[in-house]
């Protein structure tokens, strides 16, 4: 409490106010002290990621009592200061001023007593006005687009519908003549101009809605309108009906696949899609619409092998919840999701706390010593069994990579994450557990699976190692870029990380299908592989899959990824 603002303190110093000098020196020394001690006090500074809390909530006091206490304290401090001024020889105020101050103090105390008599109501979040919701909606849409959560690819939709289409309503936004000429099997017709009038009666509030038109534009506009009207689970079919026909119903013989085995497999898949969407187009879908309970697809998901494979399911965790030595890390993107509801006993970890700018490279996972400090603040020890969960699989696998880096032996990712836990009717609560910081001792300080920029440059020309780029195809081809240069590492192969998941879920597809898909890329169990994306985040998901699910023996993870490669002008780029 200096009694000065920085600007007025400088003015005061010019007027030889020595208390202003003391204030400025204290401000500088305090800033230096805060900067140097930040790593020690960061959990306190961030409130242990507890989210926004009022002073009343922090002190566990009713709000009226806190308001009254502050009022009484203010009057008491005013009188104390008046008494100290008299002791210091300051001339007393005029009698009229003293009577006025006494009256104001009495009024304040009476008001404080009145506050205590007010009825206490439970704390509720502030309501969002229509204007606020309208302003926030475009930002929510942009976040969804950036996370690739706003669309579904044609092949994924085809697989979903061929598996029964449970929990999914497909809407054709074209005019009636175009719908009658051809439409995706099971789709209902709601022309775009009638969507607002017919959606309440025809579209369910539960489950997923997939919109399509000839291209993507009308679908995106309709999706935004439905989201604004209260439908939350809306997706747009990538490239519309034209993209669906091109990707799903165009014979492979018109493609560019040269490998006979791959061509044969694609021909079989094409024949199945043609039979379903063209030959049986007039038949109803085998499963009627019903609300989604687990994921939007009934496509088979991988069955986790257990703790030894570092991947467990909700049933495994339910059977061990509350066991001593079991620690849960909730790594969902928003801490408010954690504070609202989480698995009992879980501690929140923001994944950005395990990354920093190192050697000038942003978003780099911390070295083992720094990770050990972070894990210690969470109350972890090297002997704990740690289960990590999120609503995005790649968030959980990034933390799993960090646990591997410090040599943690007993850890696992919850397959299916938070949605799978809810689907299994697992218990939840909003209690924030008391965390006692621990002295986490890493079992190793250097890992053997992280590839450096030099490692990747060497491997790209050794003729043995497969460089696997898991970014979306447009980034791999150089059509889009967020970095200094567009394209890919020469010789790298591409498979987008999201293709490995059951659509709209945090679960991998069955291992046999994934193993076949990677074998098509030349990746077998004995193939040396280096995985990268743009920053290493998405690549952690594919790295975990190849190593712990598919059993590829030599897999390395390029943390710097395309961000590092594109920033080095001397390295070649292919497009």
- Enzyme catalytic residues: 533
- What is the rounded CA–CA span in Å between residue 398 and residue 363? 11
User: What sign has the CA pseudo-torsion 227, 231, 233, 238?
Assistant: negative
311-312 and 411-414: which strand pairing?
Answer: parallel
What is the 8-class DSSP label of residue 127?
P
Element (H, E) at 24: helix 18-45
CA distances from 285 to 154, 155, 169, 280, 301 (A): 17, 17, 11, 9, 22
Bridge-partner residues for 558, per DSSP?
451
Please give the structure tokens belonging to residue 24: 């400025």
Neighbours of 102 (CB within 10 A): 12
Counting every residue written for the chain, the total comes to 575
Concatenate the DSSP letters of all residues of 228-265 into one string. Answer: HTT---EEEETTHHHHHHHHHSS-GGGS----HHHHHH
- What is the rounded CA–CA span in Å between residue 501 and residue 2? 57
Please give the structure tokens belonging to residue 505: 């879920």
529-532 and 411-414: which strand pairing?
Answer: unpaired
Cα-atom radius of gyration of the chain, to the nearest Å?
A: 30
Angle value at C-alpha 463, between 561 and 517, nearest 5 degrees: 65
- What is the rounded CA–CA span in Å between residue 174 and residue 403? 50
């Amino acid at each position: 409490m200096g009694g000065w603002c920085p600007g007025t303190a400088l003015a005061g110093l010019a007027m030889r106010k020595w208390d202003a000098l003391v204030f400025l020196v204290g401000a500088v020394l305090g800033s230096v002290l805060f900067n140097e001690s930040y790593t020690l006090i960061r959990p306190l500074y961030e409130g242990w990621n507890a989210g926004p809390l009022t002073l009343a909530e922090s002190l566990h006091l009713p709000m009226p009592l806190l308001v009254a206490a502050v009022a009484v304290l203010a009057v008491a401090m005013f009188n104390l200061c008046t008494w100290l001024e008299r002791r210091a020889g300051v001339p007393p105020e005029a009698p009229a001023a003293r009577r006025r101050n006494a009256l104001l103090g009495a009024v304040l105390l009476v008001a404080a007593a009145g506050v205590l008599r007010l009825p206490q109501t439970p704390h509720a979040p502030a309501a969002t006005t229509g204007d606020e919701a309208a302003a926030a909606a475009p930002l929510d849409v942009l976040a969804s687009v950036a996370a690739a959560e706003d669309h579904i690819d044609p092949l994924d939709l085809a697989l979903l519908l061929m598996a029964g289409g449970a929990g999914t309503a497909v809407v054709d936004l074209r005019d009636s003549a175009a719908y009658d000429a051809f439409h995706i099997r099971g789709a209902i017709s709601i022309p775009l101009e009638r969507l607002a009038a017919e959606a309440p009666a025809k579209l369910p509030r539960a489950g997923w809605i997939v919109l399509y038109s000839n291209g993507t534009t009308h679908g995106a506009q309709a999706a935004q309108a439905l989201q604004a009207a209260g439908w939350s689970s809306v997706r747009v079919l990538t490239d519309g009906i034209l993209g669906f026909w091109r990707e799903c119903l165009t014979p492979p013989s018109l493609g560019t696949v040269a490998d006979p085995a791959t061509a044969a497999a694609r021909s079989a898949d094409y024949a199945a899609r043609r039979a379903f969407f063209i030959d049986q187009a007039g038949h109803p879908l085998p499963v009627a619409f019903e609300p989604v309970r687990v994921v939007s697809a009934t496509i088979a998901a991988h069955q986790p092998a257990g703790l030894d494979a570092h991947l467990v399911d909700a049933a495994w965790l339910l059977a061990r919840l509350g066991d001593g030595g079991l620690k849960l890390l909730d790594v969902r993107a928003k801490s408010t999701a954690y504070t609202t509801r989480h698995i009992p006993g879980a501690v929140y970890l923001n994944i950005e706390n395990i990354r920093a700018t190192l050697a000038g490279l942003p978003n780099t996972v911390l070295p083992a010593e720094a990770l050990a400090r972070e894990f210690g603040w969470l109350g972890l020890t090297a002997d704990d069994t740690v289960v990590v969960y999120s609503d995005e699989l790649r968030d959980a696998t990034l933390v799993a990579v960090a646990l591997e880096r410090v040599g943690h032996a007993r850890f696992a990712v919850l397959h299916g994450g938070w949605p799978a836990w809810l689907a299994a009717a697992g218990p939840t609560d909003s209690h924030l557990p008391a965390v006692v910081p621990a002295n986490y001792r890493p079992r190793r300080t250097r890992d053997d699976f992280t590839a450096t920029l030099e490692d990747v440059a060497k491997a790209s020309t050794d003729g043995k190692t497969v460089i696997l780029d898991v970014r979306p195809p447009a980034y791999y081809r150089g059509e889009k870029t967020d970095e200094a240069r567009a394209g890919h590492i020469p010789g790298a192969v591409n498979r987008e990380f999201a293709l490995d998941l059951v659509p709209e879920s945090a679960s991998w597809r069955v291992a046999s299908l994934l193993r076949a898909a990677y074998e098509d890329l030349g990746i077998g169990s004995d193939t040396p592989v280096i995985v990268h994306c743009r920053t290493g985040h998405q690549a952690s998901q594919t790295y975990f899959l190849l190593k712990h699910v598919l059993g590829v023996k030599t897999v390395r993870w390029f943390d710097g990824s395309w961000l590092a490669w594109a920033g080095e002008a001397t390295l070649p780029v292919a497009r």
